[in-house]
A and B are shown apart, each in its own frame.
Chain A
Amino acid sequence: MKRILFAAVGLLSLAGAVNAATLDEVKARGAVNCGVSQGLPGFSSPNDKNEWSGLDVDFCRAIAAAIFNDPTKVKFSPLSAKDRFTALTSGAIDVLSRNTTWTMSRDTTLGFNFAGVIYYDGQGFLVRKAVGLKSAKELQGASICVQTGTSNELNVSDFFRANNMKNGEVIAFGTIDETVKAYESGRCDVFTADRSQLAAVRLKLTNAADHVILPETISKEPLGPLVRHGDDQWSDLVKWVYFALLNAEELGITQKNVEEQVNSQNPDVKRLLGTDGKYGEGIGLTADWVVRIVKATGNYGEIYDRNVGPATPLGIDRGLNNLWTKGGIQYGMPVR
């Protein structure tokens, strides 16, 4: 016993803290740890071989491309809505890119920084066609399934209260799959979530044509990637990867023409692609960081069209997510 005790005393001093900057850690590790959803077509979903694709996934790939010039150097952690913040807080992931609504409390008291809005969304309702509803105002007395730990859970209560609709019930489930399962089994009349999510979920239902999305949008749901408080360099990097994607689209730099654009004489393009100035060094990268990003994932528009755009099964129009120059509100801050 004594011997063991003495040995233990020696070993106890093992626990030590290594508090390095996130970017250094990522570089040392050789991969970005990225938190995504457990499967939401168009945003982040794995195929049978555990290969991930989607809008949120491509954003993480863009970060990896900026750092490593290799979009595959990402490790994806599928997280439920209720586990996602803990995973980021505890450092298990470096960036959470999981259709997360930017709210004030999350930005402040939960201890996170949002890097931008990668998708402007709003909350809607999915119902069975057979019920014959025209408007969400007719949902009086309905049973509503919602995923717990989301802003949707809060919005739906407010909506019913504001419209003086009573006798309904809200049943909250732990994961999106459970929620959808409950809706499908008839436990609920309505499934409520962000509209993009509803479109994705509808595709996963056995008979997609039997279900419709009601026209009302009851909330603002700006979805974006977020990082922990306390590491401004990393926060800046994630934020500027987002702006770089937008600026690339605005300047017409695409996956195909990026090699030619490097020789462009347009001063905006030159600054963005690092042929003029070394703006990339401000976030701990090299000057040509945007070239790497666009080569790997394309610009914002290409990512959007590939994953959720009209040509995909989801078929969602750009709408608010169009560039500010084209009637939307996506606006990349200038590189200067």
Chain B
Amino acid sequence: MSDARLSGPPAASRRRWSWTDPKLRSSVIQIVLALIMVWLVWSFYANATANLSRLGIASGFGFLDNRAGFAISQSLIPYNESMSYGRAFVVGLLNTLLVAFLGVILATLIGFVMGVARLSKNVVIKALASAYVEVTRNLPPLFQIMFWYLAVLSTLPGPRQSWGFGLQPLLGSIGSGLSAIGLGFLGNPLSGFAAGLSAPSVFVNNRGLVLPRPIFEDGSMAILYALVAAVVASVLIGLWAKKRREATGKPFPAFWTGLALIIVLPLAASYAVGNPVSIETPELRGFNFVGGVRVIPEFVSLLLALAIYTGGFIAEIVRSGILAVSKGQSEAAHSLGLRSGPTLRLVIIPQAMRVIVPPLTSQYLNLTKNSSLGVAVGYPDLFAVFAGTTLNQTGQAIEIIAVTMAVYLTISIVTSMIMGWYNKRVALVER
């Protein structure tokens, strides 16, 4: 590619092997590149082995069976410090998946609400939504996580001065009200359920959020069966309603029917078998609340920060998706007599989804990756437990960081695949 070649005559001494021959050129470049790669990989390998043997650091994955020895503050599966590093890895992975999964759901909800609100005719709502989007998108996620954890947590009271919230008065009055109007089979279990709660039963303090925990005794399976039956029935009703609407045009409130079924059936079953579910309410004993379920503040602040941060981006995606649907669509829907709610739900959003889904996928991936920032506030996710504590104790940096990266890559690929499948479903079907 020398300049001489451009200006000069086409080389009197033109050889068979000329640099201008694209085939030759590409193979030379690739061979050189391959050599460089081989050299790089080889020197990395050689250096790593030399360094490891010089320092006497073990290699391989044998350490996964060793005793971890450290405690983890949140675990979805039974774990204690006498278990192995492998188990700790699983605990961390599950914690990452938990916060990512809930974060994605919460961020999507926030994002859709805010995205629609930004297009609202109501200027106050519009301005508020715009302010939300601008502020959350322009502050670093780590900043937001630390803000929630350090600043907001510092205003919460200690366990002894917890803010308590009770369900008992609310549920109790609903229950007695139902019984009064003759729906005793609904009202009585609800009242009984409420009576089981000592007021208040939900606590907020600087140790987190303490919730009552249901304890399932004998006969609880009936409730589960009832729930399954209700879900199956609602799905069937939904299918039937759709068929009927397509055939006759008559609508049927399938959603509300299904919801009522899902609430009523398990309650009725519970009543029938004698209310087998009792509630374990948290109780202040010693330092902390005993009993119930406690959601640690590290988790709450990480989840909130991730959902609010990503929600801002999703709101923008939703807004531009809706704007991408031509105005004629909503005009046509209006002229068919649809009100603005159903227009949005039935006409605009389904079409907007085609524009929304691809960028939404990358936001989901970003949220999952950002969940690793929990390490800054002590949330025991995969990164903190494995690439943090375990790496520190075993010193096996190569294995551990490689595994950590591989896990995040796998999560990314799987999420992309799921969203790709969904994208295919919502994509415009063209002939």
Direct contact of A and B (CB under 8 A): yes
A109 to B72, CA, bound (A): 24
Q: Mark A2-40, 1 if CB is under 8 A from B, else 0.
A: 110100010010010000000000000000000000000
Q: Give the chain B neighbours of A189 by CB distance below 8 A.
A: 287-288
A181 to B1, CA, bound (A): 62
Judge whether A275 is part of the interface by a CB distance below 8 angstroms: no
A228 touching B286 by the CB < 8 A rule?
A: no
Q: Give the chain B neighbours of A185 by CB distance below 8 A.
A: 150, 153-154, 206
Judge whether A217 is part of the interface by a CB distance below 8 angstroms: no
B287 touching A2 by the CB < 8 A rule?
A: no
A12 touching B153 by the CB < 8 A rule?
A: no
> Nearest residue in B to A127 (C-beta to C-beta)?
B287
Q: Give the chain B neighbours of A140 by CB distance below 8 A.
A: 286-287
A187 touching B286 by the CB < 8 A rule?
A: no
**A162 to chain B: closest CB distance in Å?**
11
Q: Give the chain A neighbours of B384 by CB distance below 8 A.
A: 148, 172
Given contacts A141-B285, A174-B376, A181-B150, contact A157 B69 (CB under 8 A): yes
Q: Mark A208-231, 1 if CB is under 8 A from B, else 0.
A: 000000000000000000001110
Interface residues of B in 67-81 (CB under 8 A from A): 69-73, 80-81
A148 touching B389 by the CB < 8 A rule?
A: yes
Q: Give the chain B neighbours of A110 by CB distance below 8 A.
A: 55, 57, 395
Q: Give the chain B neighbours of A158 by CB distance below 8 A.
A: 69, 81
A141 to B25, CA, bound (A): 71
Q: Give the chain B neighbours of A182 by CB distance below 8 A.
A: 378
Given contacts A161-B82, A172-B73, A185-B154, contact A109 B57 (CB under 8 A): yes
B80 touching A161 by the CB < 8 A rule?
A: yes
Judge whether A308 is part of the interface by a CB distance below 8 angstroms: no
Judge whether B122 is part of the interface by a CB distance below 8 angstroms: no
Judge whether A171 is part of the interface by a CB distance below 8 angstroms: yes
Q: Give the chain A neighbours of B43 by CB distance below 8 A.
A: 15
With beta carbons under 8 angstroms apart, the residue of B36, B207, B288 that contacts A167 is B288
A169 to B397, CA, bound (A): 28
A143 to B393, CA, bound (A): 23
B55 touching A187 by the CB < 8 A rule?
A: no
> Nearest residue in A to B47 (C-beta to C-beta)?
A17
Q: Mark B152-190, 1 if CB is under 8 A from A, else 0.
A: 011010100000000000000000000000000000000
Q: Give the chain B neighbours of A12 by CB distance below 8 A.
A: 36, 39
Q: Give the chain B neighbours of A3 by CB distance below 8 A.
A: 1-2
Q: Give the chain B neighbours of A156 by CB distance below 8 A.
A: 71
Q: Give the chain A neighbours of B54 by CB distance below 8 A.
A: 111, 229-230
Q: Give the chain A neighbours of B81 by CB distance below 8 A.
A: 154, 157-158, 161
B56 touching A229 by the CB < 8 A rule?
A: yes
Judge whether B142 is part of the interface by a CB distance below 8 angstroms: no
A170 to B79, CA, bound (A): 13
With beta carbons under 8 angstroms apart, the residue of B1, B297, B378 that contacts A2 is B1
A228 to B395, CA, bound (A): 13
B70 touching A142 by the CB < 8 A rule?
A: no
A171 touching B32 by the CB < 8 A rule?
A: no
Q: Mark A48-92, 1 if CB is under 8 A from B, else 0.
A: 000000000000000000000000000000000110011001000
> Nearest residue in B to A90 (C-beta to C-beta)?
B51
A147 to B293, CA, bound (A): 25
A187 touching B153 by the CB < 8 A rule?
A: yes
A1 to B56, CA, bound (A): 43
Hey, which bits of chain A sit against chain B, CB under 8 A? Answer: 1-3, 5, 9, 12, 15, 81-82, 85-86, 89, 105, 108-111, 131, 139-143, 148-149, 153-154, 156-158, 160-161, 167, 169-174, 178, 181-182, 185-187, 189, 228-230
Q: List 14 A-B contacts (CB under 8 A).
A: A2-B1, A82-B389, A111-B56, A149-B388, A158-B81, A167-B288, A167-B290, A169-B71, A172-B73, A172-B384, A189-B287, A229-B54, A229-B56, A230-B55
User: What 9 A-B pairs are tightest by C-beta distance, nearest first?
Assistant: A111-B55, A170-B71, A157-B81, A149-B392, A142-B287, A141-B286, A154-B69, A110-B395, A111-B56
